């Protein structure tokens, strides 16, 4: 129904030539325009260069990200324009155009959404930032004002002590009084293009496991490297796995795939990749030859219980995990 579609509130604002084209040829999609989360996109793809309709949250702040192991880690974020201005002008006062989201009134954020709403027919990703001590009456009036402005929706962000916050800014007094810290340089994430000269400490373990084909024996070797770096402002030295081996005399037809797995693990280790995650993924591998018995765990009552795995590679990964745990990794 072209007449009904062209009477829509958004379509009525389109130029007449475009409306005539829709009437004659139809339209492929009923909804066409949206504004993506520009703040996040600018971080991921543009070196925090331009936030679009989102003002910078702060010139410098901490952004908390969830890690693969379920924990969290904080990263310092610095606005691109702020960094460039400091590079060119040093500690000179910022010009009036430099305004952060925390320096704006909540109503000003809402007015930005109101300004672009007539030109967008789907979603607008724009956050109305409100401080933790924002009065409830004013907060409630934000939604009433959004309704009066004809907005389709309104997203507000208020940090709180109970749930924490994804973004946080250190108090001014803490920044001024804190001693300069060493920039984080995680030694577990350092990349090594080549094996260093000299000897590396290593551990070799003889393992036995049983499959439907019978009992098998293998030797696994892991070498370790002491890497230096900085963590939470302190210089640290850690021991990390660096190479994984299966001795050459075991490269029979049945063990070539294990040797290939060792090479891939070594590549991950040298690149500073997530070894724990790689081994966990290996333990998920399933084959069609039935369970593999390898290793044991000790129950709370002291009884040893054998461990069964879904494949030979899963059993190998389990034993490598045991080796790293005994090493303190």
Q: What is the pLDDT of residue 173?
A: 46
> Residues with Cβ < 8 Å from 144, sequence gap 6 or more?
none
Q: Is the pLDDT of residue 292 over 60?
A: yes
66 confidence band (pLDDT: 50, 70, 90) = confident
Which residue would you say has higher pLDDT here, 48 or 42? 42
- With beta carbons less than 8 A apart as the criterion, state whether 289 and 213 touch: yes
Q: What is the pLDDT of residue 180?
A: 46
Q: Is the pLDDT of residue 250 over 70?
A: no
Percent of the chain with pLDDT over 90: 2
DSSP β-bridge partners for residue 77: 61
Q: Where are the alpha helices (H) located in 197-274, listed in sequence order?
A: 256-270
Q: How far apart (Å, rounded) are the C-alpha atoms in residues 152 and 327?
A: 57
Q: What is the pLDDT of residue 258?
A: 75
Considering only 67-71, 188-192, 219-223, which range has the smallest mean pLDDT? 67-71
Q: Is the pLDDT of residue 239 over 80?
A: yes
N-term to C-term CA, the chain:
66
pLDDT tens-place string over residues 91-142? 889 898 888 887 888 888 888 888 888 888 888 888 887 777 777 777 778 8
Torsion of CA 292, 298, 299, 305, to 10 degrees: 30
pLDDT tens-place string over residues 16-32? 998 899 899 888 776 77
216 confidence band (pLDDT: 50, 70, 90) = confident
Q: Is the pLDDT of residue 145 over 80?
A: yes
């Amino acid at each position: 129904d072209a007449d009904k579609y062209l009477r829509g509130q958004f379509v009525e604002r389109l130029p007449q030539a475009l409306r005539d084209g829709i009437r004659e040829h139809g339209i492929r999609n009923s909804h066409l325009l949206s504004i993506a989360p520009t703040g996040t996109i600018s971080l991921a793809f543009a070196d925090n260069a331009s936030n679009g309709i989102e003002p910078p949250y702060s010139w410098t702040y901490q952004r908390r990200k969830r890690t693969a192991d379920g924990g969290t880690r904080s990263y310092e974020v610095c606005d691109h324009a702020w960094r460039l201005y400091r590079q060119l002008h040093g500690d000179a006062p910022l010009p009036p155009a430099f305004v952060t989201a925390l320096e704006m009134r909540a109503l000003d954020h809402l007015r930005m959404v109101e300004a672009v709403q007539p030109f967008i027919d789907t979603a607008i990703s724009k956050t109305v930032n409100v401080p933790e001590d924002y009065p409830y009456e004013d907060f409630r009036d934000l939604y009433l004002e959004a309704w009066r402005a004809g907005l389709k929706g309104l997203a507000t962000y208020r940090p709180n002590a109970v749930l924490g916050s994804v973004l946080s800014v250190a108090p001014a007094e803490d920044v001024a009084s804190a001693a300069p810290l060493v920039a984080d340089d995680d030694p577990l994430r350092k990349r090594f293009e080549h094996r260093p000269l000299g000897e590396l400490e290593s551990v070799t373990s003889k393992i036995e496991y049983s499959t439907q084909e019978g009992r098998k024996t293998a030797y696994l070797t892991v070498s370790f490297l002491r890497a230096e770096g900085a963590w939470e402002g302190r210089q640290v030295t850690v021991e990390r796995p660096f190479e994984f081996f299966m001795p050459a005399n075991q490269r029979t037809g049945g063990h070539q795939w294990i040797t290939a797995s060792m090479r891939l693990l070594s590549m991950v280790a040298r690149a500073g990749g997530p070894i724990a995650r790689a081994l966990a993924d290996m333990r998920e591998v399933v084959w069609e030859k039935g369970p593999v018995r390898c290793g044991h765990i000790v129950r709370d009552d002291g009884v040893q219980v054998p461990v069964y795995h879904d494949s030979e590679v899963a059993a190998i990964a389990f034993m490598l995990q045991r080796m790293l745990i005994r090493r303190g990794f």
